[in-house]
Amino acid sequence: MAGYKGEMFLNYPLSFLPSDDFLILHNLRLFDGTHYFQVDTLIINTKFIVLAEAKNMAGTLYFDPGFNQLIRRNEKGEEAFSDPLLQIKRHRIQMKKWLARMELSHLPIETLIVISNPRTILQSSSDSVHKKVIHTGQLPFHIEALNEKYKREHLGANEALELAQSLVKNNYPRKTNVKEKYGVQPADLIKGVKCPDCGCLPWHGKWVCKHCGMESKDAHVSALRDYALLIDSKITNRAARDFLMVNSRAAINRMLTSLNLPAQGTRRWRVYSLDTLLEGEQTVIVDRKGKLVDRRAKIVDRNL
């Protein structure tokens, strides 16, 4: 789950983008005509798009350009991983093929590896790695720099929205039963809403982390998705209160209602379906303030 949690860490820095010119989708699985490929986070602008791969890894990360591998050093020793820069470079080629089928091969594609743990030390013998590997705190500034770099608009605002809708429509989510695969039992889970900044648990009130002070409007979405993956794809107000560790029935009702989840029943017997939170796991923000978008990529609110 570390990779997925890393993606959720991107929501906060992306909320600092100073304009409403960006559409954001998470966890897309697309088909390029030959192979499927996964996109952690896709940032769409009228001038360019960005493929961002989130990595939630601690320790010292050394990007070895000679052998195209990532070496992690920590108190347990050294461990080698496949090079995420090579992976996202391949995904760029696949995205270019996908866009060509949409007659959008002219749209520039940028790539980024975003390290979500601020304590992680980044190292490389290549001078170019720092342009492609950044910490989350740098993300909004890096995107703004790209916005300054590219002068020509290749898409109109409506065309950018149509592209986002096409991406969601052509998403092929991978179905995984986490409970069966890993043998997870409800009693094994730690309840509450996890802080996307420092990881402390639980949060209280307005989703203000008592440990680091971070505030969030949508931290509960990640927790509800965990519930759907690990416990049940359906949830009641009472079950949500128990899992999110919130005492207020009215507060939970507002949270669940705001997500536009399919529901059956009335009042205390109302049951909400969490399936839409799992469909491709393309988390539902499409602008800098996290306004929700449904599974057809129809924007609920773009008024900033």
**Alpha helices (H) along 105-156:** 139-149
- What Rg value do the Cα atoms of the chain yield, rounded? 20
Residues of the chain with CATH 3.40.1350: 2-169
Instruction: Assess contact for 29 and 280: CB atoms under 8 A.
Output: yes
CATH 1.10.10: which residues of the chain? 178-278
Q: What is the percent of the chain with per-residue pLDDT over 90, rounded to a whole number?
A: 38
What's the chain's average pLDDT?
80
- Per-residue b/e over 206-230, b at no fewer than 16 CB within 10 Å? ebebeeeebebebbbbbbbbbbbbb
| Structure tokens belonging to residue 219 | 């931290």
Separation between Cα atoms, residue 80 and residue 122, nearest integer Å: 15
> Which range in 208-212, 256-260, 263-267 is most confidently predicted, on average pLDDT?
256-260
Residue 115's H or E segment, with its range, is: strand 109-115
Q: Residues 198-254: pLDDT tens digits?
A: 545 454 445 666 666 667 777 788 888 888 888 888 899 999 999 888 888 888 888
Judge whether 278 and 225 are in contact, CB under 8 Å: yes
Q: What is the pLDDT of residues 135-163, one digit of tens each?
A: 999 999 999 999 999 999 999 999 999 99
81 or 198, which is more confident?
81
Cα distance between residue 94 and residue 227, in whole Å: 33
Fold of domain 178-278:
Arc Repressor Mutant, subunit A (1.10.10)
> Is the CATH code 3.40.1350 the one for domain 2-169?
yes
Q: Is pLDDT at 89 greater than 90 in this prediction?
A: yes
Query: Is residue 97 pLDDT above 80, yes or no?
Result: yes
Residue 255 scores a pLDDT above 80 = yes
Task: Please state, in angstroms and rounded to a whole number, the distance separating the CA atoms of residues 100 and 18.
Answer: 30
pLDDT band, residue 302 (cuts 50/70/90):
very low
The pLDDT of residue 245 is 85
Structure confidence at residue 181 (pLDDT): 59
What average pLDDT does the segment 175-179 reach? 61
Class of residue 245 by CB neighbours under 10 A (exposed 0-12, middle 13-18, buried 19+): middle
This prediction's pTM: 0.61
